[in-house]
Amino acid sequence: MNPDLLKLYSEFDYLYRDIGLICRDCRDHDCEGYVWLLKDETESLLDIDVQIVEINDNTSFIHSFEEEGDVVRVDKLKPPCRLREAGLCTIYKNRPLVCRMYPVGLVTDKDDVVVALHQDCGYARRLNKSDKQLFFQRVLGILRRTPKALLREWLESYLLVDRLSAFPEGLNTFEVISSLKVILNERR
């Protein structure tokens, strides 16, 4: 696996080192939905027998979709992740970037792709104003240290997923941390 991706994993694991207590008691459905993967993640998850669905020969997801016979139904919003049992992730040490970063993620906001904090998450809701500002600075620091090529891959993968799906209806609130373009342009 790409050492830069492993480093990014490590940095987000450290940032969220105390999130497990909140996740354990969580009843929100935000860890459900389309768990999309970067190329290296697809290969490493296949190595541990995680079922993957590839759509349009270019976008891979952990298989949590409903099936009707031989047809995989990708039209259900927020399908429950098949890799969660009793609220816990069964592949926690091998979970993909999109899971490691949550409640931070990419969101299409108007005509821009932004790095955002999903406020529906219990962890995000517990951040007071000063803690949130410090958290945003830490997230931006991590992303600024991430090689531009990996950030571009993350963006390109997200854009493919975004073209396939719509943001689910309902109470999905987020706060913009930064435009991803701004972060990419700050990089050498």
Could you read off the pLDDT of 3-42 as tens digits, one per residue?
999 999 999 999 998 887 777 777 666 566 678 899 999 9
| Order of strands, sheet of 112-118, starting from the edge strand that comes earlier in the sequence | 104-109, 112-118, 174-179
Query: Mean pLDDT throughout 164-185?
Result: 78
Q: Residue 101 carries which side chain, given as an amino acid letter?
A: M
Helix (H, G, I), strand (E, B) or coil at 21: helix
pLDDT at 85: 79
DSSP string, 77-135: SSPPPTTEETTEETTGGG--HHHHHTTEEEEEETTEEEEEEETTSHHHHT--HHHHHHH
- Rounded to a whole number of angstroms, the distance between the first and last alpha carbons of the chain is 24
**Residue 87 pLDDT exceeds 90:** no
What pTM was estimated for this model as a whole? Answer: 0.88
Question: What does the DSSP 8-state code read for residue 174?
Answer: E
Which stretch of DSSP H or E encloses residue 41? Answer: helix 39-47
37: buried, middle or exposed (CB in 10 Å: 19+, 13-18, 0-12)? buried
- Condensed to tens digits (0 to 9), the pLDDT of residues 96-151 reads 999 999 999 999 888 899 999 988 888 898 899 999 999 999 999 999 999 999 99
CA distance 51 to 46: 7
Is the predicted pLDDT of residue 169 greater than 60, yes or no? no
pLDDT value at position 136? Answer: 96
Residue 2 phi/psi, 5-degree rounding, is -55, 120
At 176 the three-state DSSP class reads strand
